[in-house]
Structure 1
Amino acid sequence: MTGVTLNKVIKRYGDVQVIHGIDLDIQDGEFCVFVGPSGCGKSTLLRMVAGLEETTEGQMHIGTRDVTRMDPAERGVAMVFQTYALYPHMTVRDNMGFGLKMNGHPKSEIDTKVAEATRILKLEQYLDRKPSALSGGQRQRVSIGRAIVRGPEVFLFDEPLSNLDAELRVEMRVEIARLHKEIGATMIYVTHDQVEAMTLADKIVVLRAGNIEQVGAPMDLYRDPDNKFVAGFIGSPAMNFVSGAVKDGRVDAPGLGAQFDGLVSTAYEGKALSVGARPEHLSIDPAGDTHKVELTESLGGVSFAYLTSPTGERIVVEERGDERSVEGAQVGVKIDANRIYLFDAETEQRIRS
């Protein structure tokens, strides 16, 4: 198995540039997830790795090979699409082995590889069924099996779970994670769902408008975001942001009803900030009266209280235990100064003490 390296990769459609000089190193055997909002360029970048989109400028290597100008079939990659793209008149067995058959592989080799992929994906009992007799999750497993039998150096997944219902998405996330552990291949996975990114990835690449905002392990991005965009995108519910400012060396955050000492240098005196706090780092003070509880979402073991601050900003607070907030109540909010994040209001870059 081999890694993937992108060096100043650019993609243009005519005069419109959609990928802006991306540098990225994906290690051998790593599970790398491209994540970001719709239109950020994540699928385009994946298709460039596959060779389905031409690279306008820059270089792309898979292992030691420069594949920048290679045809897709020469790159040693296999792609799993959002749509299953199965032949409806063929059985599962024939769908999985069709690519090898078209390339002239002997039947004994095809049977061996299909049997191995079937074992990995637990599809033995479905081999003689046609796609119409399968569930959505089973069809996607067949699609993945078709990629496995090719024996690629790199697996590419383009939002493979987006057509599945919530229960099947969870099931298939587990299946894909198990698959990666079993075969140890390099995998690149595109999703707009940051929960998928957090649960599957060894490395997350956060994209926005064709640029990389930050690269790192899931919990590193969660705990140590470089900017407000990453802080707000990684985490569910999203991080809270309220307006703040530095006054007399203190961070004043009226939306949280609090001031914090010793977090910024005197160079920030009078400067506008964005103050971030994750819902699980906030707690309700029933004795306070600064925030109104607009809505409470109870999910069983955890609830989320949606509050309106004195400044009109919305705050989400995670609650656990038997005592939950009551809609319409006036409450206070508590937070430890060590649990807040500060961002420059203009550049949105993280301010680190």
Structure 2
Amino acid sequence: MTGVTLKQAIKRYGDVQVIHGIDLEIEDGEFCVFVGPSGCGKSTLLRMIAGLEETSAGEIHIGARDVTRLDPSDRGVAMVFQTYALYPHMTVGENMGFGLRMNGVPAAEIKEKVGMASDILKLGPYLDRKPKALSGGQRQRVAIGRAIVRGPEVFLFDEPLSNLDAELRVEMRVEIARLHKDIGATMIYVTHDQVEAMTLADKIVVLRAGKIEQVGAPLELYRDPDNRFVAGFIGSPAMNFLGGKVVAGGVEVPGLGRTVAVEASLPSEGTEVTLGVRPEHLEVRRGEGALSAELSEALGGVSYLHLDTPTGERMIVEERGDDRASEGDTVDVTFEPRRAMIFDRETGLRIR
């Protein structure tokens, strides 16, 4: 297996540039996830690596080879799409081995490779079934198996779980994580779901408007985001953001009705900033303060309390245990100073 390197990769459609000089190093055997909102360029970037989209400028290397101008079939990659794209008249085994058969691979070798892939994906009992007799998760495993039998250097996944229901998505996340552990291949995975990104990735690449916002391990991005966009995108529920102003002793936050101490090198007094704090780092105090509990989402072991502030800003607090606030309660929230993050109001960059 081998890694992938992008050097100032650019994609244009006519006069419109959608990928803006991407530099990225994906190590051999790494599970890298491209994540970002719809239209950020993550699927386009994946298709450029696959060769399905022409690279307008820059270079793409797979291992030691410059594959920028190579055809998709010559790049040593296999792609798993959002749609299963299985042949309905073929069995599972025939679907998995079809590409090899078209390339003239001997039948005995095809059988061996299909058997190996089916063992990895636990598809052995289904090899003689047609796709219509499979569940959605099983069909997606067949699509992954079709990629495995090709023995690619790099696996590419383009939102492969989007068509599955919630339970199957969780099941398939576990399957894909196990697959990576078993075969140790370099994998690049595209999703808009940051939960998938956090649970699967060795490395996350956060994209916005065709540019990289930050690259890092999942917990690194969660604990130490570079800007407000990354802070708000990584973590579920999203980080709370409140407007504030630097004053002596900390940040004055009108939404909380007080000045809060923070552990950051603050700019000069009077500078407008944004304070961010995650729902799980807030603690509720009932019967005091000026925050109104608008809604409580009780999910069993955890509840999410939605709060209205006097300034019209919204907050979400994660609550656990048996003593939880209810809708209509008046509350205050507290948090440790080290949990607060401060962002420049204009640029969105983190102030550390």
Give the alignment's TM-score, normalised by structure 2: 0.98
What residue is the counterpart of 2:126 in the other structure?
126
Q: d(CA) in 2 for partners of 1:286 and 1:255?
A: 17
Matched-pair contact (CA < 8 Å) for 1:86–1:95: yes
What residue is the counterpart of 2:318 in the other structure?
318
How far is 1:247 from its partner? 1.7
Percentage identity across aligned positions? 73
Residue 291 to residue 234, structure 1, CA distance change in 2 (3 Å): same
Q: Over aligned residue pairs, what C-alpha RMSD do you find?
A: 1.0
Residue 308 to residue 32, structure 1, CA distance change in 2 (3 Å): same
Query: 1:106-162 CA distances to partner (integer Å, 9 max, x unpaired)?
Result: 001000000000000000110000111111000000000000000000000000000
Pairing of 1:34-73 with structure 2 (within 5 A): 34-73=34-73
How far is 1:269 from its partner? 1.6
What residue is the counterpart of 2:218 in the other structure?
218
Q: d(CA) in 2 for partners of 1:12 and 1:57?
A: 9
Are 2:9 and 1:9 aligned? yes
What residue is the counterpart of 1:173 in the other structure?
173
Are 2:93 and 1:93 aligned? yes
Residue 224 to residue 265, structure 1, CA distance change in 2 (3 Å): closer
Q: d(CA) in 2 for partners of 1:268 and 1:154?
A: 49
Q: d(CA) in 2 for partners of 1:136 and 1:38?
A: 24
How far is 1:263 from its partner? 3.9
Q: Secondary structure at the match of 1:256?
A: coil
Which residue identity is paired with 1:318? E
Query: 1:22-74 CA distances to partner (integer Å, 9 max, x unpaired)?
Result: 00000000000000000000000000000000000001100000000000000
Matched-pair contact (CA < 8 Å) for 1:113–1:149: yes
Matched-pair contact (CA < 8 Å) for 1:240–1:278: yes
How far is 1:264 from its partner? 4.7
Residue 94 to residue 339, structure 1, CA distance change in 2 (3 Å): same
Q: d(CA) in 1 for partners of 2:188 and 2:256?
A: 39
What residue is the counterpart of 2:148 in the other structure?
148
Q: Secondary structure at the match of 2:175?
A: helix
How far is 1:234 from its partner? 0.3
Q: d(CA) in 1 for partners of 2:47 and 2:115?
A: 29
What is the aligned residue count?
352
Matched-pair contact (CA < 8 Å) for 1:257–1:333: no
Q: d(CA) in 2 for partners of 1:110 and 1:271?
A: 67
Query: 1:274-297 CA distances to partner (integer Å, 9 max, x unpaired)?
Result: 100000000101131310000000
Which residue identity is paired with 1:350? R
Q: d(CA) in 1 for partners of 2:266 and 2:33?
A: 39
Deviates more, 1:328-337 or 1:245-254: 245-254
What residue is the counterpart of 2:338 in the other structure?
338
Give the alignment's TM-score, normalised by structure 1: 0.98
Pairing of 1:17-36 with structure 2 (within 5 A): 17-36=17-36
How far is 1:12 from its partner? 0.1
Deviates more, 1:77-86 or 1:333-342: 333-342
Q: d(CA) in 2 for partners of 1:306 and 1:18?
A: 37
How far is 1:309 from its partner? 1.1
Question: For structure 1, which runs of at least 5 residues remain unmatched after alignment?
Answer: none
Which residue identity is paired with 2:304? F
Which residue identity is paired with 2:13? Y
Are 2:208 and 1:208 aligned? yes
Which residue identity is paired with 2:39? G
Residue 96 to residue 294, structure 1, CA distance change in 2 (3 Å): same
Q: Secondary structure at the match of 2:104?
A: coil
Q: Secondary structure at the match of 1:143?
A: helix
Are 2:297 and 1:297 aligned? yes
Q: d(CA) in 2 for partners of 1:238 and 1:294?
A: 17
Matched-pair contact (CA < 8 Å) for 1:249–1:265: no
Residue 165 to residue 265, structure 1, CA distance change in 2 (3 Å): closer
Q: d(CA) in 2 for partners of 1:164 and 1:234?
A: 22
Deviates more, 1:337-346 or 1:245-254: 245-254
Q: d(CA) in 1 for partners of 2:250 and 2:277?
A: 17
Matched-pair contact (CA < 8 Å) for 1:292–1:331: yes
Matched-pair contact (CA < 8 Å) for 2:274–2:345: yes
How far is 1:335 from its partner? 1.1
Matched-pair contact (CA < 8 Å) for 1:7–1:59: yes
What residue is the counterpart of 1:350 in the other structure?
350
Q: Secondary structure at the match of 1:171?
A: helix
Q: Secondary structure at the match of 2:230?
A: helix
Question: For structure 2, which runs of at least 5 residues remain unmatched after alignment?
Answer: none
How far is 1:311 from its partner? 1.4
Q: d(CA) in 2 for partners of 1:71 and 1:131?
A: 30
What residue is the counterpart of 1:240 in the other structure?
240
How far is 1:265 from its partner? 4.4
What residue is the counterpart of 2:187 in the other structure?
187
Matched-pair contact (CA < 8 Å) for 1:31–1:201: yes
Q: Secondary structure at the match of 1:229?
A: helix
Pairing of 1:211-290 with structure 2 (within 5 A): 211-261=211-261, 263-265=263-265, 267-290=267-290
Q: d(CA) in 1 for partners of 2:335 and 2:254?
A: 13
